[in-house]
Structure formats: C-alpha cells, structure tokens
Chain A
C-alpha cells in the first residue's frame, strides 16, 4: 500500500495556478525525486503536505489519514519531517538544541514538571540526548555539537537541518533541495549521508532537487513537474529522455 497518496490537488494563488491536478503516490522504502524548472510547483507540493498551504481541491492521504483535516503542527507526530529550501534553523541556539527541538514531537512535555525539573524530566533529557547523539554520529556532526547555528557556514547548516529532521524519527522525509548552494564535495557528502539515512534508518525520502547527478545517484523513481502539472514519471533515465520534459526545460525548439 502506498505511503502517501496525493490525488488531484489544485492550488491557485489569485489567478495563478501553482498546482493543477497533481496526482502521485510515494511507496514505502523508495526515494522519489521531484524535478522541474523554477515555478513548477515542487516546493508548493511540499508546503501542501506540511499543511502550510491548503489546496483548492484534491486530497492528500498518509497511511489512511487525511492530512488536509490536520493542522501544520499535527503532521510531524505522524512521522513526516522536512527541510526547507532556504534553511529554517533556530539561529540563536546551539546545534544540540536545534536537534533537541527536532525531537519535540517524540518528547512529552509538562511545563509544571519542567519548572521544578524533577527526576522524570532529567531522565527525559538524558534519553533525548542519547537519541540526538546517534544522529550526530550518523551525520558526522559531533564537532559542531555546541556551536551556535548563526556562526556556521552554509554547508554545515544544510547538514544540521537534515539532522534535525532525522531527529524527529520520521518515516517519510521531505527534502527541499538538499544540495542547493553546496560545493561538489559537499554534494558528494550529502549523497553519502542520504544513502546512510535510507539504508540504516529505513526512511522513505521524497526530495526536490535540481542537481541531476544527485538525483541519478539516489532516486529510485522520478517525477517531473512543470507549470503545476505532472509531465512524466518513471525511472530517472526515462524521465530525462522524455520529450515533454526536455521541452519544459529547454524550450520548444529542442
């Protein structure tokens, strides 16, 4: 059974149709890449799944649950975590604290108890740190543990954001351009870590990416969007060879 089913969603901003009848599904265990030119609606799909946008019509179901019935903060507890195209970290907090916030959906919180910080709270904090430490090890971030995020370079921030999403213990990970702004070496590292995440933690990945090298290396399946419509889907090679896709990227003369 499909993990995530997106059925015929349409979303307009004023007269501009950002999504126009988009349907696809994500199968458990796969790495699905969404590609397409700028303004194709890739990030909009993510923002619909995260419930930042409400589509005009259509449905989004995750494991039998209608996501459109839920609010944005009720998505993470279901096991869907995401990263952002422009990095949305907590800039004035340490890397460790950023990752601990990542565990919010997995940590019970009782403000009265936390005010007095009794044994249960301390035990919870220790447990959360142990979990976060595993992710720090997996993504090789140990040396940045106590750094403040605003002091980090761009590439490191990308990794921290990925780590924070992994800390939420997702079953489905939405990555919005994990390789954008990274140099070739960092892209290679990113590909390596994403493979690790997929294989060691068994997380299903849905990603938006422009770097076709990374897509070819990681994606088991690929969907091309343009102007809010699905142009083609299939293996990366098939989608790359598709005439419609070439036309969308390169113009009609091609």
Chain B
C-alpha cells in the first residue's frame, strides 16, 4: 500500500494529491472529452441527461450527504430551475444569464424552505420537504401565465451570443463544462470552512453550536447551495425535455434523486456520480425485469416506486456506504493484496451519544 508522505500544508489542501487518484480522474475526464468522437449522436444526448442527473445528485449530496438534512422533494428544485430557465429564455434573457439566474431562483426558494424547516429533524423534515414538493407541483400547474400550467411550456433552443447550439455534441460539451465547474466548486467548498461546518452540523449539532457554528444559518445556506445546483441541473434538463409539464418533476423523480445519492454513497461527490451512472442504467434493468414478470405484475402501476424503494432499503441495510464504498473496498483489496481483512471496514463499537439537546 502506498503511503503518502506529506511535507507541506498544501498537500492537505489541494485536490487529488494521491497520484493514482489523479490518473483515474484524468482518465475519466479525457474519456468524457473524447466521447463525441466515438459514440453516436443519440448516445451523446443520453450522456447529457446523465450529466443533468449527476448535477442534481451533487445538489442533493450537499444537503443529504454533507449537511445531513434529508429532502424527499428535491425534484421540486429541478422543476423550479427548469421552468425558470424556460420562462427566462422565452422572455428574451440570454442563456449565459438565464442559467445562473435559474440556479439563483431555485436557490432562493431552497433557502426559504431551509429557513422554515431549520428546526426539524429526521422524519418531520422528510415529511415537510415532501409536502413542499407536492405544493410546488401544484403551484407550477396553477401559475399558467408563467408556466403554461398543465398545457406545458415550450423550451427555446440554447443560443450563445446569437450562435445556436443545434448539434448534440455542442450541447454535450456545454453540459460537461457546467458539470466540471460545479464539481470543482463543490469540492472547493468542502475543503474550506464552509464544508467543515456542514459536516459539523451533520455529525453533531450540539458540539457545532458549542464551537460557534450557527446551525440554523448553515442549514439555510446548505439548502441554498443544494437547491441552486439542482436548479442549474433542472435548467439544463429543460433543454433535453423540449417541453415541460408539471408532472415531469413528480414524486418519482424525487425518489430517483434520493436513490441516486444513497446507492452512490452518501458523503462524497464521487458517490453522486456513481449514483447517476446507476440511475441512468436503471430503466434498462427495469425493462429487463418487466420481461420476466407475469403481465399481471409487470403492468401494475407503481412498479418503479416499489423497485426504487426496495433498492434504497437494501442498500441502507447491506451497503450503507453505497457503490462508492464498494469501490473503496475493492481498491483497498487490490492495494493490500493478500493482506486484506474484512474487519477493516467493520464499524467499531459506537459509544453512547447523548441526544438530549439536539
């Protein structure tokens, strides 16, 4: 096993200090950049959808994985971002301004929600965010002058300073750039005081407060960042959907985002990416499963809900660290072969933790 010998504080601070990890990330980025040369135009648009999900996953990861605040209605922010983007473009706002603005609008709504629920925990928070998502769906349906209501809303094409992006590869590169930018920014936040205070709120609100962290304020900010990133994801997704209707961003979509971060691995940015890959393949798997089931079962409404729920439950029971955790174990297995011990990842005894004044 390689041991990294640190000689300066910058090695603590910098991203990707480990040479192996740098190579792996470099390869993934190179593959992503080269993709348009090798894959079909249809697959590129699939990849663009994957990028949107990865972005939304990072958004939810900030909230659930880093700050420990559950949100069962995160698709609402996807919807707010998408509608804001479409409405702004329709009113003649250029793309370079409308996308950040869509993020900010979504973020502002997120901050307001965060302010309202900053004293809630666990189950109550889940119910509150779920209710928020349902309300948002209804509001989008009712706000006909802006959103077109249930008739839907046409999404204008992306154009950059009068130059329209018509080819799939152009759109793909744009989305990839946004994704890399957001990953970089989020990783920056996580190595700064901001990220540490989010993790502090996640792990122990009591000691966070005793160290001078304003827990409610951190939660509001985490909601803002999370909703803003998810809003940007929604804004990008709008262009792939071409036509928005309120049902697009339903409970199932929220559940899909939740599934993504739990399956991918809570608490890491890589987890969101792994989760997005998983979710992108899931429809194919579900189709496969459908083919084997008797039609009485296969044609039941809500099969997706059942599967999503079952997968989340199974992962929480058997692999709480998600796919990313699996990957870390695999890597350690290879690095330390033949000395790998199962017990390395078995959690130690938990000591009594007081919850008297959470």
Contacts and interface: CB of A to CB of B under 8 A. Distances in A.
B211 A89 contact: no
B351 A87 contact: yes
A225 to B, nearest CB: 19
Contact of B199 (A71, A97, A122): A97
Interface string B180-215: 000001001101111111011011101111111111
For chain B, the bracket of interface size reads: 35 or more
A90 B206 contact: no
A26 interface: no
B211 A164 contact: yes
Given A97-B196, A107-B193, A129 B12 contact: yes
A51 B93 CA distance: 49
Q: Is the interface of A mostly helix, strand, loop or mixed?
A: helix
B196 A116 contact: no
Query: What is the size category of the interface that chain A forms with chain B?
Result: 35 or more
B192 A101 contact: no
B13 A93 contact: no
B219 interface: no
Given A90-B199, A109-B197, A116-B185, A168 B13 contact: no
Given A89-B204, A130-B9, A101 B194 contact: no
Contacts of A50: 209-210
Interface stretch (A73-81, A210-218, A236-244): A73-81
Given A84-B354, A101-B196, A73 B213 contact: yes
A117 B212 CA distance: 23
A76 B196 contact: no
26 contacts: A47-B357, A75-B212, A76-B210, A77-B212, A84-B210, A84-B354, A85-B354, A88-B204, A88-B206, A90-B199, A97-B196, A101-B213, A102-B211, A104-B212, A114-B192, A114-B193, A115-B185, A115-B189, A117-B188, A121-B192, A122-B13, A126-B10, A126-B13, A128-B193, A150-B350, A168-B211
